[in-house]
Structure 1
Amino acid sequence: MPVAMTVDIVGSRRMPDREAAQRALDDAIARVAADLPVAQTPLHPTVGDELQGVYPTLDAALATTLLVQLALPDIVECRFGLGIGPTGLVPSATGDIPDGPAWWAARPAIDHVHALEQRAVPSARTWVIAHQGESDAVHAEARRANAYLLVRDQVVGGMSERARRLTYGRCFGATQRALAAQEGVTQSAVSQLLAASGASAVVEGYRLLVP
């Protein structure tokens, strides 16, 4: 079942350099799309600070959101709303318009993330909602994904920019020695930072999404 993804930038109106943040986001998305080319419709800007894309499965969408979070520098954070359901296009004189139940679910998903962020779970960045017409099994899948995401976002949100870079590299099998050379630090420093940041659990979770 397709998954529609809506993305926006956390605190975009308060950013001192919105253009720099957008460049960083564009670079991160391009990197992820090259390293994990799974999108049906790649993430692309729509209006303001919002982006949209479509993924063939929930696992593909979850893996993509993780990699984007890991690839981003400290100057920009994103929240992600994922909607499970059919997608389609509505013909228009100015070009086809994406529409359908997955998009109807993605919008309240990102709104829910924002609400969580403002209340009890400030680390929340990602949420999944299945369209009401989906089966009980699909709704159960969305609930399980959200349980995972609450913890994953907490771990990733607590990482330093360097820890996120290292974790990204480990997701694609880079050795600690190679990462140490890339960062200009010792292999021991890489090992200690990965262990302290919870990176191993994040990497193992990623590998379950992309077997």
Structure 2
Amino acid sequence: MATVVTADIIGSRALPDRTEAQRRIEAVFAAVEADLPLAERVLTATVGDEFQGEYPDLGAALASILLLTLALPDGLECRFGIGLGEAYTVDATAGQLAEGPAWWAARAAIDTLHAKQVRAMPAARTWIAAAEDEDAAVQEQVRLANAYVWARDELVSAMGERARRLVYGRCMGLTQRELAAREQITQSAVSQLLTASGAAGLVEGFAQWRR
């Protein structure tokens, strides 16, 4: 079973400098992968405002996506649809094309995110879907993971850019003293920001998915 990710840029048509936004997002994706290589195929621009990538399992995908959402600067956000199922490639004149139920599920997850953002879940940034032919155990894993990402996205969406940097650093194993030096603030200020942002739960969730 493959774990694939389709991502798109939120509000891409309204961005004042679409080219610069694309460049910055690609730089963030590359930096996160350099900090913690998890992808089997790094998220890469495909067409329009979309990216596609592949991970060894759901835990790696969820851990990486948390880092990506934390690392994106204010004003730039992406949706991430994760698909579980069979994936394969199709030969075409322009090269090999990603295809299969996992990719269809990832696209369905993106469509679900669009609908949820319009209605009750404006902070939702991640959703998971499994191919229809996946067994009950996989479908149950998806339901539990979606409950997790809903809560996680609510926490991240409420953070400012500095708080996101601090949580990112804690996920990467940096101490509060090291983070304070980076941000040029006191360790007490770091501690207060982390506590107020709900960082402990995010960092522990990240660690659990990395096991």
TM over 0.5: yes
Post-superposition, which runs of at least 4 consecutive aligned residues in structure 1 deviate over 2 A? none
The number of equivalent residue pairs is 211
On the 8 A contact 1:25/1:72 being kept in 2, the answer is yes
Instruction: Work out the CA distance in 2 between the residues paired with 1:209 and 1:31.
Output: 20
Q: Give the secondary structure class of the aligned counterpart of 1:96.
A: strand
**2:66 matched to 1:61?**
no
1:154 partner amino acid: E
Instruction: Work out the CA distance in 2 between the residues paired with 1:177 and 1:19.
Output: 37
Instruction: Work out the CA distance in 2 between the residues paired with 1:140 and 1:3.
Output: 16
Corresponding residue of 1:139: 139
Residue 28 (structure 1) shift? 1.2
1:27 partner amino acid: A
Deviations 1:133-191 (A, max 9, x none): 10100000000000001000000010100000000000011011111110011111100
Instruction: Work out the CA distance in 2 between the residues paired with 1:132 and 1:181.
Output: 49
TM-score, L = length of structure 1: 0.98
Corresponding residue of 2:93: 93
Q: Give the secondary structure class of the aligned counterpart of 2:154.
A: helix
Instruction: Work out the CA distance in 2 between the residues paired with 1:37 and 1:109.
Output: 24
Corresponding residue of 1:194: 194
Corresponding residue of 1:209: 209
Deviations 1:28-84 (A, max 9, x none): 101111122121111000011110001110111111110100011002011010110
The runs of 5 or more residues in structure 1 that have no matched partner are none
1:37-48 alignment runs, 5 A limit = 37-48=37-48
1:138 partner amino acid: V
Instruction: Work out the CA distance in 1 between the residues paired with 2:19 and 2:190.
Output: 32
Corresponding residue of 1:103: 103
Instruction: Work out the CA distance in 1 between the residues paired with 2:113 and 2:208.
Output: 24
1:15-30 alignment runs, 5 A limit = 15-30=15-30
1:133 partner amino acid: D
Corresponding residue of 2:153: 153
Residue 19 (structure 1) shift? 2.2
1:65-76 alignment runs, 5 A limit = 65-76=65-76
User: Which stretch has the larger CA shift, 57-66 or 28-37?
Assistant: 28-37
Q: Give the secondary structure class of the aligned counterpart of 2:37.
A: coil
On the 8 A contact 1:21/1:75 being kept in 2, the answer is no
1:164 partner amino acid: R
- The CA RMSD measured in Å over matched residues stands at 0.9
TM-score, L = length of structure 2: 0.98
Residue 2 (structure 1) shift? 1.4
